[in-house]
Each structure stands twice: as structure tokens, then as C-alpha cells.
């Protein structure tokens, strides 16, 4: 599960990270990019990367805001469970997700995410300076609201397996174009867990329990409070 995440890379750094992706020709952000956030929770607004055009030289993409918690196309109101995660094993066929899988695949940028083990929060992040990661996501427009969910898979590697039984599907840079603009058969191939070579570059550290309150915010939330145990 991924119920909280961090995105402090914004503005030109975020659009630059998208521009650097293989196969991307241009990046626009007509509504701007969000401010740095260190405790993003479901139902809050997040940025998503989606395709808006294709030419022989590559794809044109847009960074746009979405509510975190998918509202399927057939939804009439925002009531009911918040669909902030979608299991990779079921998204092509589950009614809540299959239309978004066919027509609304997107990538969600983050610098890291939080996971809890025995009520203790841990921050999972790239060990090499916390660059932007791109996560497989789905985008919907139910209730005339742009919304999104994060796709999760079984964990990869001993460290993350001990932490939780699910993890976000991190996309390698050369997988992003295929995920957001390829056909559904190509996208199905990416519903498997991320390559271990990609996940092996992740580190985790225990952080303050203040992150459990979604009203708390700021870079102190990702400060290391001690060695990982267990």
C-alpha cells in the first residue's frame, strides 16, 4: 500500500525531469506545478504526467493536477472508499479501473513514500540523492473531477518485503513512455513488479510518527530518527 508520499521536486526541476525521459519531445504544465510537499495524503491534489500528442520525434506530455483517489467514469459522487491504490493484478479487468487502464494511464512523480511497520513509519527513497521517481498510475474523470490512483505490486527485494506486502510500481525511465502512451498489451507487460535492479537502489529510514497526521508538513518529516531495525 502507498497512502502517503513526498514530492519536493517542483517547478523547473520537475518539468526538467519529465523532459529527460526517453521518448518525450516536449513538456507543458499549463496550471503550474505544486509547491514542495512532504506529507501528501489521499484526496489531496497531486501532479500527474499524461500524454497529449505524438509525433515521429516522440510524445508531448503535460503535467496537470488530479485528486489522489480515482473516481471511475461511472461514478456519480465522491462518496465511498477512496481508491488511492490499485492492485496491478486486477486493474485491466476490475470495473473501477479497467476504463482508466485502457484510456487513462499516467505517471505520478514522487521523491519517496511512507510505509508503516508495527505502527512505526519509514521513508522509502532513492539512495542516490532522492531524484524524482515515476510511478505507474491511472487517471479518471468521474463526477467531472480529474483524479488518479497509484498502481501497486508485490514488493521486490528482502528489505521492502519485510516492510509491507505491497509497493508502488516504479517505472524505469525507458518504461514511462510505453506505460502512458503504448497500447494495452504493452501496458499489461508493465503490470509485473519492478525490476530488482531498479528497486535495489532504494533505501529506507525510520522517521518521526508526526507523519501520521496529514496536517503535519515540512522537510523535518523525512529526517532520520535512527537505524532501521527488524
Which residues span the domain enclosing 37?
5-222
Contact 43, 69 (CB under 8 A): yes
Distance CA 64, CA 60 (A): 13
Distance CA 14, CA 49 (A): 10
Contact 33, 66 (CB under 8 A): no
- The verdict on residue 197 lying in a domain is yes
- The verdict on residue 228 lying in a domain is no
pLDDT in single tens digits along all 230 residues of the chain: 799 999 999 999 999 999 999 999 999 999 999 999 999 999 999 999 999 999 888 999 999 999 999 999 888 888 889 999 999 999 999 999 999 999 999 999 999 999 999 999 999 999 998 789 999 999 998 888 999 999 999 999 999 999 999 999 999 999 999 999 999 999 999 999 999 999 999 999 999 999 999 999 999 999 999 665 55
- The verdict on residue 229 lying in a domain is no
The pLDDT, as a whole number, for residue 78 is 83
The pLDDT, as a whole number, for residue 227 is 61
Helix or strand or coil: residue 62? Answer: strand
- The verdict on residue 145 lying in a domain is yes
- The verdict on residue 227 lying in a domain is no
Helix or strand or coil: residue 24? Answer: strand
Residue of 39, 7, 38 whose CA lies nearest to 135: 7
- The verdict on residue 208 lying in a domain is yes
Name the pTM for this structure.
0.95
- The verdict on residue 68 lying in a domain is yes
- Residue 98 belongs to domain with CATH number: 3.90.1680.10
Tell me how many domains the chain contains: 1
C-alpha cell at 203: 533505501
Distance CA 24, CA 176 (A): 9
Amino acid at each position: 500500500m502507498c497512502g502517503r508520499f513526498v514530492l519536493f521536486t517542483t517547478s523547473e526541476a520537475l518539468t526538467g525531469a519529465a523532459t529527460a525521459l526517453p521518448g518525450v519531445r516536449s513538456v507543458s504544465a499549463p496550471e503550474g506545478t505544486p509547491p514542495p510537499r512532504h506529507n501528501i495524503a489521499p484526496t489531496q491534489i497531486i501532479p500527474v504526467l499524461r500524454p497529449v500528442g505524438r509525433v515521429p520525434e516522440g510524445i508531448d506530455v503535460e503535467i496537470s493536477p488530479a485528486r489522489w483517489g480515482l473516481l471511475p467514469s461511472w461514478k456519480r459522487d465522491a462518496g465511498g472508499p477512496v481508491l488511492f491504490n490499485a492492485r496491478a493484478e486486477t486493474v485491466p479487468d476490475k470495473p473501477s479501473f479497467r476504463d482508466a487502464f485502457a484510456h487513462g494511464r499516467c505517471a505520478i512523480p514522487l521523491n519517496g513514500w511512507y510505509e508503516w511497520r508495527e505502527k512505526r513509519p519509514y521513508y522509502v527513497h532513492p539512495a542516490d540523492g532522492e531524484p524524482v521517481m515515476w510511478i505507474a498510475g491511472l487517471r479518471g474523470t468521474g463526477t467531472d473531477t480529474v483524479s488518479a490512483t497509484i498502481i501497486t505490486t508485490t514488493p521486490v527485494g528482502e528489505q521492502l518485503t519485510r516492510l509491507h506486502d505491497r509497493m508502488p510500481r516504479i517505472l524505469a525511465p525507458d518504461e514511462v513512455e510505453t506505460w502512458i502512451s503504448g497500447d494495452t498489451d504493452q501496458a499489461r507487460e508493465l503490470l509485473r513488479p519492478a525490476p530488482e535492479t531498479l528497486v535495489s537502489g532504494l533505501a529506507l529510514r525510520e522517521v518521526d510518527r508526526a507523519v501520521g497526521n496529514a496536517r503535519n508538513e515540512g522537510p523535518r518529516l523525512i529526517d532520520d530518527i535512527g537505524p532501521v531495525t527488524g
